[in-house]
Amino acid sequence: MPFKLCIIGAGSVGFTRKLCSDILSVPEFEGIEIALTDISQQNLDMIAQILRKMVEVSELTTKVTATTDRRRALEGARYVMNTVRIGGVEAFATDISIPLKYGVDQCVGDTICAGGILYGQRGIAAMLDFCADIREVCPSDHLLLNYANPMAMMTWAAIDHGRVNTVGLCHGVQNGHRQIAAALGVPMGDVDIICSGINHQTWYLDIRHKGRAVEKGELLEAFERHPVFSRQEKVRIDVLKRFGFFSTESNGHLSEYLPWYRKRRDEIVNWISTDDWIHGETGGYLRHTRETRNWFETEYPTMLKEAEKPLSQWKRTDEHASHIIEAMETGRPYRGHFNVKNRGTITNLPADCIIESPGWVDRFGINMVEGVTLPLACAATCQASVDVQRMSVRAAVTGDIELLKLAVLHDPLVGAVCSPDEVWSMVDEMLQAQMQWLPQYAQA
């Protein structure tokens, strides 16, 4: 069943290798074409050499191409993966440093809050260009699998304004699933979950160990007594205690989506752990990115050596992309949690927003389990983010600076810290610092 897969942002060498090793492990995908595209020729050359070695060792007929010409790479592609980060570390640094001057303390800055919103402005401008090319040169039955953050905003823009069939994919639900099993002290395969909400704010509504329901009290006790999680996941544990439900993503992520945990610098220390950046360190993800941005250059010889292993020795990951494509191409059903247009999947969130919830995939495409109703507190928390996302997407598409400022003003953490005048000044400063990546605001 030959088809063409294009990966935009394939210069993310480690992640591209992971996605492609999953794809190459599907026997029916013999003879497909994987087209890699990125703005970095050096990175493209490295990942292309790794993948070609993997193909050669396993005696596959898969074709691997690499080009900085995005449109050429996209031509004829039935499946497109997007993994880009627009502006790189240079823009990311201002996502964190400028808000911090105004008292907005972020750990990650990739979802909402001031940094996530501006990250979305940069990403959506590029996403709409990608979508224009996809509409023109890809088959009508194309599917865009978006891995780029801010997930909800990027996916919303691609569907509504890019007019491209899109699903957003994240590994947050799987990571939380692993943590729950570890806290309970049982194998992950023995734990079943139903998780629903919005990306990075998805809630484990039903947890079962070998069919037995795991209630709030048992889960809370498991996390509170765990020697590592009790230290590293204080915000998530507190939310579990008060809301009754565990949330996806890390302590650092969740702490900046809510107005309660990072608004006073003297209190932040009570909620974070410095064991690792992801547990709440101020600017933690930026520091991690700076320190590891060129890791693949030193690790490249090792990665090339690992590529000499036959695919039978590679363990397929739980990233959704290969499983979705396999289900659509072979009809073998796959269940996962996907970011899609709501349209009634979650009854108490707006129909037009992007939700993350369980669904099934087969030859008929992605079909969501409809009729989920979130607990009131979970829905209220998601709704606050959805309102920010909606304004942010519309601002990015129209170049409306006033709407952009209103989006930032309505962000839960920003609103807990800044006055309206401070928000206006902060956004002006961020726009000035990032204007080279924000063409929609060039005439504003």
Please state, as a whole number, how many other Cβ atoms lie within 10 Å of the Cβ of residue 294. 9
| DSSP three-state, residue 66 | strand
CA separation for the pair 36, 5 (Å, rounded): 9
Q: What does DSSP say about strands 79-82 and 4-8: parallel, antiparallel, or unpaired?
A: parallel
CA separation for the pair 120, 98 (Å, rounded): 16
Does 257 qualify as catalytic in the annotation? yes
- Closest by CA position to 242, among listed 258, 226, 227: 258
CA separation for the pair 437, 238 (Å, rounded): 38
Active-site hit among 79, 119, 147, 257: 257
CA separation for the pair 113, 95 (Å, rounded): 10
Active-site hit among 171, 209, 288, 300: 171
Does 171 qualify as catalytic in the annotation? yes
CA separation for the pair 169, 146 (Å, rounded): 6
CA separation for the pair 246, 268 (Å, rounded): 20
Length of the chain: 444
Residue 224 half-sphere exposure toward CB, CA atoms < 13 A: 11
Q: Are the C-beta atoms of residues 108 and 254 closer than 8 Å to each other?
A: no
CA distances from 291 to 295, 301, 368, 439 (A): 8, 19, 39, 29
Q: Are the C-beta atoms of residues 147 and 110 closer than 8 Å to each other?
A: no
E strands present in 9-90:
33-37, 63-67, 79-82
Residues 6+ apart with CB under 8 A from 297: none
CA separation for the pair 270, 286 (Å, rounded): 21
C-alpha 117: how far from chain center: 14
Of the chain, the end-to-end C-alpha distance in Å amounts to 49
Q: Are the C-beta atoms of residues 167 and 155 closer than 8 Å to each other?
A: yes
C-alpha 245: how far from chain center: 21
Residues forming the active site: 171, 257
